Structure 1
Amino acid sequence: MNSQNPKAMSNDTRCVFFNTDSEDYRCVVILTVKRATGTFSLVGCIFMLFVIWLLRRYHSLAQKMILSLTVAAFFDSVGYVMGDLHPEGSLCDFQACWLTYFDWSALAWVCLITVNLYLNLVREISTNRYEMSYHLMAWGVPLVMAFLPLLKGYYGPAGAWCWITDDHVAWRFGIWYVPLFSLIFLMICCYARIICVANVRMQSWLGTFNPERERRKVSLAEEIKPLKWYPSVYLLVSIFPLINRLHNAFYPQDPSFSLTLLHVLSAPLHGLANAFVFGLDRDWWSLLSPTGIQLGLQSRLCDRTRIGEYHPGAVRYTQADLVDLSDDDDDDTNVLFYSPDMTLKDRGP
């Protein structure tokens, strides 16, 4: 019995990354880098949530979608920071299911933000009534993708964290990598179409000079700029994990330290990458100056102003009072982008 205890202890403390002792320097490096990148991503998500709260960017549909993306990326980062070495067991299955769910949820919100922008700008459709459908898709589909491997019993140690094991390579690519890169390709095509339509519309706006219309033209170009980086960011943080998983598929008994290191450097950075994309918005940085933060905190914490309801009385209009309101297009604040001459159509199913 005593001869079996050291063996059991060595199995519990072994490095599941490289099938060596847990004191192996490679394991120490991988764990340290994994914690660091996960923490950076977590901090980026917390910063984004703070800015959204400070600037009250959660009223329109587009802003709510970005908030939901940030929440998904936050919990995804928590999964990467979670634990150290995970042998097979319930904790390992929990981390694997957690990571699969929130990886998919963050990806789903990025795709839906792209679809929402496409419907608003290219198809000229108001998408406010799709909000519940967006939430059902972004939180429901990942649930299915996360629980399928769990029900099959395919989760286990899979490198620097728990996921689908090396014995089920087809499931790894079917559940994540093939859909991921297919959706990235579709998003790139979608943004190319969006940018093309936006450029045509900005060049074709004619008529008398309208300061508000000119401001919208500049705002349209500036706001599309950061969002178009979402597919590129996801491609950058996913390319090394794909290469490492391909190496694992061909050489399951010989994991590469350099590829595993690049994997843990890039895979947990979804939250930080989203914060980087947000940081490309110049309006945000102009509002996040020391004075802007101070005013924002005062508004959030100290302002107790209450606006009462206005009850209009009876009004009579004469023909001379009627004006052309065709240039007044500020009524739809839930649309991410739209041109001043464009009327969004609330099309039925």
Structure 2
Amino acid sequence: MSFTTAQADGILGIAIFMSTLSFIGSSIIIASYFAFPNLRKFSFRLVVHMAVADWFSCIAYFMANPTDGSAACTFQGLLEQGCQLSSIIWTTIISLTLWMAVVKREEVHTHMRTFLIVGYVLPALTCILPLSTKSFVNTGAWCWIDGETTIGQVWRFLLFYLPLWGGVAFNGYTYYVVIQSMKNMFETQGTEVPAKYRALINRLKLYPLILCFCWFWATVNRFQNAVAPDHPQFWLFLLQVTFSHMNGLLNAIAYGLNPSVRDAWVDKLDEYPKLSRLARLLEHKDGSGNSGEGDVEEEGETAKMTDDDTAL
């Protein structure tokens, strides 16, 4: 890369700042799981696994800018590749389980071992190929797969960007089918879709958009790098790090910080009156003035009408 030291430091500074926000969001999701036993249901466990992947992705950027060829540089590249891909895969697992539960009426919790293998082992295996060709190098502001060699470009697109946009397409289609299934369920009963399900439908539409929002500029930047590897664009790198490093934060907000989680923390903060008053001011209320049911319960009810342990 031909960036100046000031430019590289600026890119890294933004990456660390945005990663810090994502780290906090992911940490809240993980802490919620351990702090509140009532949240430890199948659907929320999937969200926690995604948060763990996001959490370690942030750790990679906290390592700053290791020296090219060092063990720290290779380790950072491994963390970025494995954990960022793991996060993407967990979003597809979440959409898949919702489709299986709502559309196919399957017992999805029986597939947890398979999900763990796909969510963690598969991303780890994708690190072997670039590692075997010594393609984890310093790319300017941090270490990842080399963008200045042909084999490095192949690994970048084959092992990350192809799965990324495949996941976007899969998630978009899956949520579309789920949403249509939910609407049809009420239409066949001759009733309107209840307000809480309309709210849930609106949230489902956002999930695939998060990946698009966060990774669009990174993808554009990678194509530019592939076409003109000797002429990187500083402004594209700024857009990439600003948006892609929001992924963990937006995942935490969209998938994990539902009313059930917020209610649990508000109740916990009752032990601290001043914090509790502030939390209740921020607490989301539905139209009736009561706290809305969490997405976990709503989606589970859509799938089985009885128990949220089978779907998101």
TM-score (norm 1): 0.73
Give the equivalent residue in structure 1 for 2:269. 294
Change in 2 beyond 3 A, CA 1:142/1:340: closer
For residues 227-268 of structure 1, the C-alpha deviation after alignment (integer angstroms, 9 at most, x for no partner) is: 442211011110111111111111111111101111111222
Within the candidate set 210, 223, 237, 1:233 is matched to 210
Larger Rg: 1
Within the candidate set 186, 209, 212, 2:170 is matched to 186
3-state SS of paired residue (1:336): helix
Cα offset, 1:283, TM superposition? 4.5
Are positions 1:89 and 2:70 aligned together? yes
Matches within 5 A, 1:318-337: 336-337=300-301
Change in 2 beyond 3 A, CA 1:35/1:341: closer
Cα offset, 1:101, TM superposition? 0.7
Are positions 1:111 and 2:86 aligned together? no
- 2:27 maps to a residue whose letter is I
Q: Is the 8 A contact 2:224 2:232 kept in 1?
A: yes
Give the equivalent residue in structure 1 for 2:247. 270
- Determine the C-alpha separation between the residues in 2 that align with 1:33 and 1:72: 20
Give the equivalent residue in structure 1 for 2:188. 204
Are positions 1:260 and 2:237 aligned together? yes
3-state SS of paired residue (1:156): strand
Are positions 1:39 and 2:32 aligned together? no
Change in 2 beyond 3 A, CA 1:286/1:85: same
TM-score (norm 2): 0.80
- Determine the C-alpha separation between the residues in 1 that align with 2:257 and 2:180: 20
Q: Which moved more, 1:193-202 or 1:77-86?
A: 77-86
Within the candidate set 223, 226, 232, 1:246 is matched to 223
**What fraction of aligned residue pairs are identical, expressed as a percent?**
21
Give the equivalent residue in structure 1 for 2:31. 50
3-state SS of paired residue (2:232): coil
3-state SS of paired residue (2:137): strand
- 2:171 maps to a residue whose letter is M
Q: Is the 8 A contact 1:184 1:235 kept in 2?
A: yes
Q: Is the 8 A contact 2:101 2:303 kept in 1?
A: no
Cα offset, 1:201, TM superposition? 0.7
Instruction: Please give the root-mean-square deviation of Cα atoms over the aligned residues, in Å.
Output: 3.0
Cα offset, 1:296, TM superposition? 8.0
Cα offset, 1:53, TM superposition? 3.5
Change in 2 beyond 3 A, CA 1:140/1:222: same
For residues 293-327 of structure 1, the C-alpha deviation after alignment (integer angstroms, 9 at most, x for no partner) is: 32489xxxxxxxxxxxxxxxxxxxxxxxxxxxxxx
- Count of residues in Structure 1 that have an aligned counterpart in Structure 2: 283
Change in 2 beyond 3 A, CA 1:251/1:220: same
3-state SS of paired residue (1:53): helix
- Determine the C-alpha separation between the residues in 1 that align with 2:263 and 2:41: 21
Cα offset, 1:65, TM superposition? 0.7
Gaps of 5+ in 1: 1-16, 208-213, 298-332
Q: Is the 8 A contact 2:182 2:302 kept in 1?
A: no
Gaps of 5+ in 2: 273-296
- Determine the C-alpha separation between the residues in 1 that align with 2:75 and 2:243: 22
Q: Is the 8 A contact 1:93 1:156 kept in 2?
A: yes
- Determine the C-alpha separation between the residues in 2 that align with 1:339 and 1:205: 16
